[in-house]
Structure 1
């Protein structure tokens, strides 16, 4: 299995927040791509690499970034023997390809004909998430049907359904439908997936996939999606004070 980490975003909201932060506490983070932001005592993306290197199923890790940050990622990747970087060729947010196109770029460039583990480069999970458990669940599904897919989902509150794509599942946790940011009375499900955006639209791909292949959910308690300064502070605080077992995180 190969892992593709999507890291070609420009972090425009976060960079704007950093520039406008009156405290000046986070001035040193200006110009750093979100996946390379320090959370606790390690870069966000490095936490994923540590877990992936520990997983016997993964034999290739590919990171998709943009031309603006390409050299920074190349320098970071020198510490890892299994990580390869690909440049999507864009220089600004208006040129960005989007998540699905970046994923296809990696598949084509590295001629991937294997199972794919797709990871958002600005996303981490709570300590109860286990990559090995997730992989075991995927392999169990594969043993029954080789066309099965597995996605992560967490429960949201009633008032939060309008923020996410909501996955409706059957008794086997197979996804039957995905509703884009529905009101609470439009669905009884509270199983949230990442919000769908027009350009960065992995949710659109998931909607397409559901009608063609078996897609199941793997429940998690929550995630950190670093999009602005407040979400970064929340994530960083968790890894400074609440993470109990640093050595086994994500594994």
Structure 2
């Protein structure tokens, strides 16, 4: 299995918050890509590299970034033997390929023909999350069908459904559909879907199909990776693995919350996410 960390975003909201902060406490975050932000003892993306290596099953990790942050990622990746970086060639947020475009670039650049774990570069999970358990769930799904993919879900509050993609599942834990930011009255489900997917190798050619279908669509349709998952659900079996919650580093406030958790509440940093 391979893994890809989606890190080609420009973090405009976070950088705007950092620039607006008058305390001076966060000046060191200016110009830092979100996956390279210090979270606890190490960079956010380093938590993933360490956990993926410790859990086993993933032999290469790809990072897709942009021209602005490529040098920083190359320097960071030099500490790891199995991390490879590719730039999407853009220098401005308006030029971005979107998360699905970045995923497609990785597939083409590295000629990926294996199962692929996809994670957002601004995403981490609570301490009870286990990559070993995720791999076991994926293997179980693969025993049902070699086409099967896996996504995660956690329970969100009623008022939060309009912030996330919400999964509806059947009694076999197969996803029936994903509703994008529905009102609480539009669905009885409260299963939010974070940016973490295990895509079967048989599903990977559909990334190209999706982008061809959306070639004239606005960048927003190709930016949110959940849009690809929603499109994938009627075409391939997609099963769900439940987790308790996540950290989504989008703003300065959400970064501070995440960093505080890792500094003050994380019990076992060495076993985290394994």
Taking structure 2 as the reference length, the TM-score comes to 0.89
1:106-125 → structure 2 map (5 Å cutoff): 106-125=106-125
Give deviations 1:74-130, integer Å, cap 9, x for gaps. Answer: 000110000000010000111111000100100000000010000111110000000
Q: In structure 1, the residue corresponding to 2:260 is in which secondary structure?
A: helix
Q: In structure 2, the residue corresponding to 1:111 is in which secondary structure?
A: coil
Q: Identify the residue that residue 214 of structure 2 maps to in structure 1.
A: none
Structure 1: 5+ residue stretches without partners? none
The 2-side partners of 1:157 and 1:105 are apart by 35
Q: 1:8 to 1:19 in 2, by over 3 A?
A: same
1:249 is the counterpart of 2:266? no
Give deviations 1:5-41, integer Å, cap 9, x for gaps. Answer: 1000100000010011011100011011000000111
TM-superposed deviation, 1:207: 1.3
1:29-48 → structure 2 map (5 Å cutoff): 29-48=29-48
TM-superposed deviation, 1:56: 2.5
How many residue pairs get aligned? The number is 250
1:118-197 → structure 2 map (5 Å cutoff): 118-194=118-194, 197=220
Q: In structure 1, the residue corresponding to 2:261 is in which secondary structure?
A: helix
Runs of 4+ with >3 A deviation = none
The 1-side partners of 2:56 and 2:48 are apart by 14
TM-superposed deviation, 1:199: 4.4
Give deviations 1:44-79, integer Å, cap 9, x for gaps. Answer: 000000011123211111000000000000000110
The 2-side partners of 1:127 and 1:104 are apart by 31
TM-superposed deviation, 1:194: 4.2
Structure 2: 5+ residue stretches without partners? 196-219
Aligned residue among 253, 262, 267 for 1:230: 253
Contact 2:164–2:180 under 8 Å retained in 1? yes
The 2-side partners of 1:28 and 1:112 are apart by 36
